[in-house]
Chains A and B, each alone.
Chain A
């Protein structure tokens, strides 16, 4: 498995891929070997920054998961079990949520006090491993994440035969599904996309009809950007050449949300090519904004964990030589404060949509 993950190799027959995994294990067992499943390591130690594509990619390090190893046995069992669950989903032509998969796997192993899975994070993580092992995406394995995130703007799409106009969906906007591969874009008139990390800010902009006034698309999730949103962003920018501006809190966590959208994430480095969007720009909030808009009094003190995270992020390969970002990190550390997007409301409830965002966009006041 030292070769790089090949994209969409097995798209044709996902069930076959899962079967192959099973057959490999069974043949080892028949030979009397301690069965192993090779799995690429998903950690900072095994990601590289590819200068050419400007994305985080997975390295070549492989770990072997053994059944007859105290530390691996349970994980090994989980891997095979989740593969089996996924195979059933495929044969029944049903989709399950991550939560469903967790409950389908969860049970107490007879004669022990051991649960096959205790937390959903375990089955989630095994699914990500399965993606790597089989070269299939989670969606191809018929497992979807929860819907998360909203979008509004001058776009018309077709989804499962329904035509949907993102500008005519009332106060809630369109909720972005976990799988956006089947969506067809029929008409895209917005000129750029504004993505924000907070649903509350999205609602503010939506109420102010920001997307109408600025002729754009506004999109949000809550916290980390889900795969569905990242895929949707990538499709819009690659198919319609729309610039994307990201609006996050002024803290290391906000910076990492931006980093994931732009370069890809460490955890899902194997699918960076399908997710990362190197052209996105960071609109704010920046440390300079705090000074410029006199928001010092509305900032929050950084905690030790925040400071530690700043140190970590500033050392990532893709930020290391980025002078503009290093300057931001330095200022954060010196000021020892962070600023939430909503702090802009201290200057008036619609200050963000009337003054802050238009000024920033007009002046092209972005970080790259």
Chain B
């Protein structure tokens, strides 16, 4: 008797290794092509450094260096002045996938899934076979440890190649060096742009970048103030998904449903918790672990329909309108800047806050669409611009109100850069690659309010500059009219032409100022009409 199909298939089925998982999902992890791989590696390294410095309350000083080794082979070095990593943790952090401290915390932070730097280590290993070189030092009187690490892809365990003590020219910090197959390109999706935008979103950080051509570019600090440490909060029941809710039920230390709701979540009082249980026909004293999947879903749905107070918003750490504007002034060669930080708001139980800044004129390209810089929790979003709620909000804003040209359904046009930052304990992305913010109405509304505020400030500026230019044009027009009128008047009255002209030029000079208030009256009138 022949074997069944299932039996045939079973032969091929075997547990896939970490490297296979990585290869199959590299697009989700940001390693789908050599160009993006380079950017993702640097992103992971810089994110780690910024986070580490923030936790240690150190003003970050990050050095990034890219060296070309062969046509498509590069070495990447990221070094920071952070707190360093204790020796025992180094192999786990760099050479074990999905190892990290970022799971299940409700706190504004950069990376949200902890795929992190180990993915870059694995990519390096898969494309070159070389180990990652890590150096870290945790303090003045501690030795610096140097590791060469590989990932044991079968068991997802660190494979230590070299472990020794070395000298390190800083009191504390970490240095990561990876060799990898990569393509280096400039442009809006390249490393250079990423570092520039990162510097804009992190005014407290200094970044020194050495590009493959050996050129050193320094992105200085715009502010010496460390960002406010975001507070960790417990989740709000309206902000979590069913899957997470179920795993929270399974893993909670709370003994009863009531205490589960009141201890593991915010904004649920014991009275409300009891009401929820009553409605679901469960005993408030029921053990959370005793609920099966269907019961959990029933409970979840009731919770979602229960009125609860919105979560607190003081857990967020915005860049701040002043700092954001200073950053932009430092990196964008424009003549006018404006910025705003909106009050915090809430979408689906998640607190969030929108900030926007605008730069106009100067050396910015007057042709074509504006340049849009998108940030989520201080991380630049360089891909999927058209799918992003930030882009949609800007397209949906009527820029013609602010004297800026805009075609229907398109970004406005002109010498303008707009930066929008969303800070949230949970930024909703449209996909795993985390490059576009999802279209929640509450988020779009806040972004629009923020850019409108910037637009209004810009419009005032444009009106003023346009007025000055028009005034100049007018003066020159009157100048041209004067000889004409003088010759007509000379013909009518036989008065000396030169005498009339000279007098008229005198009046022109004197009255140029008086020509303006009239304009302003009209502006006032327009305002009134709009009201």
Query: Judging by beta carbons under 8 Å apart, are B507 and A68 in contact?
Result: yes
B477 within 8 A of A: yes
The stretch among A46-54, A81-89, A141-149, A169-177 that forms the contact with chain B is A81-89
List, in ascending order, chain A residues with CB within 8 A of B503's CB.
Answer: 29-30, 32
The stretch among A104-112, A195-203, A331-339 that forms the contact with chain B is A104-112
19 residue pairs A–B, Cβ–Cβ below 8 Å: A21-B492, A22-B489, A26-B489, A26-B493, A32-B510, A69-B518, A73-B478, A77-B481, A77-B484, A77-B488, A80-B488, A81-B484, A81-B485, A84-B488, A84-B491, A87-B492, A109-B480, A109-B481, A110-B483
Interface residues as binary, A28-39 with B (CB distance below 8 Å gives 1, 0 otherwise): 011011100000
Q: Which residue on chain B has the smallest CB distance to residue A66?
A: B511
Interface residues as binary, B477-503 with A (CB distance below 8 Å gives 1, 0 otherwise): 110110111001101110100011001
B387 within 8 A of A: no
Query: Judging by beta carbons under 8 Å apart, are A34 and B481 in contact?
Result: no
The one of B480, B485, B491, B499 in contact with A67, judged by C-beta atoms closer than 8 angstroms, is B485
Q: Which bracket fits the contact residues of B?
A: 20 to 34
The one of A69, A73, A83 in contact with B488, judged by C-beta atoms closer than 8 angstroms, is A83
A76 within 8 A of B: yes
Closest 10 pairs (CB-CB, A-B): A22-B492, A22-B493, A84-B488, A80-B488, A84-B491, A29-B503, A81-B488, A111-B480, A112-B480, A26-B495
The distance from the CB of A297 to the nearest CB of chain B, in whole angstroms, is 48
List, in ascending order, chain A residues with CB within 8 A of B507's CB.
Answer: 29, 32-34, 68
Q: How far is the CA of A68 from the CA of B510 in the complex (A)?
A: 11
Query: Judging by beta carbons under 8 Å apart, are A73 and B477 in contact?
Result: yes
Starting from the known contacts A25-B489, A81-B484, A87-B492, 16 additional A-B residue pairs (CB-CB under 8 Å) come to A22-B489, A22-B492, A23-B492, A26-B500, A29-B489, A30-B499, A34-B507, A34-B511, A67-B478, A77-B488, A80-B492, A81-B485, A84-B492, A87-B491, A109-B480, A116-B484
Interface centre among A29, A67, A73, A84, by most B CB within 10 Å? A29
B504 within 8 A of A: yes
Query: Judging by beta carbons under 8 Å apart, are A32 and B481 in contact?
Result: no
B474 within 8 A of A: yes
List, in ascending order, chain B residues with CB within 8 A of A32's CB.
Answer: 503, 506-507, 510
The distance from the CB of A37 to the nearest CB of chain B, in whole angstroms, is 12
List, in ascending order, chain A residues with CB within 8 A of B493's CB.
Answer: 19, 22-23, 26
A18 within 8 A of B: yes
A114 within 8 A of B: yes
The one of A21, A23, A68, A83 in contact with B478, judged by C-beta atoms closer than 8 angstroms, is A68
From residue 1 to 50 of chain A, which have CB atoms closer than 8 A to chain B?
Answer: 18-19, 21-23, 25-26, 29-30, 32-34
Q: Which residue on chain A has the smallest CB distance to residue B493?
A: A22
From residue 271 to 327 of chain B, which have CB atoms closer than 8 A to chain A?
Answer: none
Q: How far is the CA of A8 from the CA of B507 in the complex (A)?
A: 36
Given contacts A26-B493, A80-B492, contact A70 B500 (CB under 8 A): no
Query: Judging by beta carbons under 8 Å apart, are A70 and B474 in contact?
Result: yes
The one of B474, B485, B491, B506 in contact with A77, judged by C-beta atoms closer than 8 angstroms, is B485
Q: How far is the CA of A34 from the CA of B506 in the complex (A)?
A: 10
The distance from the CB of A30 to the nearest CB of chain B, in whole angstroms, is 6
From residue 226 to 250 of chain A, which have CB atoms closer than 8 A to chain B?
Answer: none
